[in-house]
């Protein structure tokens, strides 16, 4: 369903991502591991077209992802929702509005100011928050929540788009071990129950071993490992 072929991104003379190829047949939980600077973020950002590729190809269900423009590109970006290390919420905005924010590109930004969200969307947001165990926080400002709760709000915002793929860029790097586990458990459950693909940049092998079906290892832009986590014996 997803294939990446010789994907490359240069920044000046540096190849941040250097001829990376892999394909995914069915929704999997994939971890990308590697040191800081290995190219993990750049790879994820190319997948959802936040960053342009220098060369190579991405195909998803027959679509040539790198050729998508305009509305088709925006539809693709909804199909692969992204979550980030620093959550990227609007701190002073309440949790429900943050969750609905992901749908804003299709509506007016004034919806936030005047609370003009369709009621059905608000209920759906609350249902998603409930599923993630944070419905009680719905009316609070995002900044009042713990890191683990904030990351679950970001996951809820992603789920509002009903994505086929969730791209997670170091989703637990800012969290303590307990919150990290809550967030990874939530991602794993969404993967299993909804059949959504998850591709997560992770910096610890332990997390990859525990949660992923497949691990891609990167070093200096190159893919140096692709296999089951239990086959991974040394650091990448
Ligand atoms: P991470 O370690 O989480 O990948 P970085 O600090 O490397 O985060 O990157 C954060 C942001 O800065 C990203 O948007 C990335 O594209 C950009 N960035 C990273 N390295 C450079 C660089 N050498 N020059 C300019 N921008 C950079
Ligand atoms: P990782 O996510 O594994 O930490 P990145 O994808 O952030 O790695 O970065 C890979 C390489 O590309 C690094 O050398 C980084 O400095 C460089 N890089 C990333 N973004 C930029 C940017 N916007 N401008 C220049 N260099 C960048």
pLDDT digits (tens, 9 = 90+) for 184-213: 999 999 999 999 999 999 988 899 999 999
Q: 152: which residues sit within 8 A by CB, 6+ positions away?
A: 129, 132, 133, 134, 182, 183, 186
Distance, in Å, from the CA atom of 235 to the CA atom of 46, rounded to the nearest integer, reads: 25
How confident is the model over 71-107, as pLDDT tens digits? 999 999 999 999 999 999 999 989 999 999 766 555 5
Structure tokens, 73: 């590109």
- Predicted confidence (pLDDT) at residue 230 exceeds the cutoff of 80: yes
- What is the separation of C-alpha 161 from the centre of its chain, rounded to a whole number of angstroms? 12
* Ligand 2 center–CA 220 separation, angstroms: 10
DSSP state of 204: -
pLDDT value, residue 110: 63
Report whether 175 contacts 208 (CB < 8 A).
no
In this prediction the pTM is: 0.89
> What angle, rounded to 10 degrees, do the helices at 147-160 and 177-194 form?
20
Report ipTM (2 d.p.): 0.72
pLDDT in tens, 32-48: 999 999 999 999 999 99
pLDDT-derived band at 116 (thresholds 50, 70, 90) equals confident
**Ligand 2: distance of its center to the CA of 16 in Å?**
6
- Count the Cβ atoms, other than its own, within 10 Å of residue 14: 12
pLDDT given at position 55: 97
Which ligand 2 atom is at minimum distance from the Cα of 36? 4
Q: Helix, strand, or coil here: 68?
A: coil
Q: Which ligand is nearest to the CA of 217?
A: 2
CA distances from 166 to 24, 26, 131, 157 (A): 14, 14, 17, 11
Question: H-type helices in the chain, by residue range?
Answer: 40-47, 70-79, 95-101, 110-114, 119-131, 147-160, 177-194, 205-211
> Does the C-beta of 168 come closer than 6 Å to ligand 1?
no
Residue 41, ligand 1, Cβ within 6 A: yes
């Amino acid at each position: 369903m997803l294939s990446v072929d010789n994907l490359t991104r240069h920044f000046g003379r540096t190849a941040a991502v250097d001829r990376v190829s892999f394909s995914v047949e069915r929704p999997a939980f994939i971890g990308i591991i590697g040191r800081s600077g290995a190219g993990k973020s750049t790879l994820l950002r190319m997948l959802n077209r936040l960053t342009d590729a220098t060369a190579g190809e991405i195909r998803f269900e027959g679509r040539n992802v790198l050729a998508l423009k305009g509305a088709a590109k925006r539809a693709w970006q909804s199909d692969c929702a992204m979550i980030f290390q620093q959550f990227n919420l609007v701190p002073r905005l309440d949790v429900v509005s943050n969750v609905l924010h992901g749908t804003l590109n299709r509506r007016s930004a004034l919806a936030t100011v005047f609370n003009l969200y369709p009621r059905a969307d608000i209920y759906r947001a609350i249902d998603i928050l409930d599923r993630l165990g944070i419905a009680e926080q719905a009316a609070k400002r995002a900044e009042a929540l713990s890191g683990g709760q904030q990351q679950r709000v970001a996951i809820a915002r992603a789920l509002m788009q009903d994505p086929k793929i969730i791209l997670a860029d170091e989703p637990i790097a800012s969290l303590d071990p307990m919150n990290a586990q809550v967030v990874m458990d939530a991602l794993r459950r969404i993967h299993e129950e909804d059949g959504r693909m998850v591709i997560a940049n992770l910096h610890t092998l332990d997390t990859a071993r525990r949660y992923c079906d497949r691990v891609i290892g990167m070093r200096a832009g190159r893919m140096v490992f692709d296999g089951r986590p239990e086959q991974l014996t040394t650091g990448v």
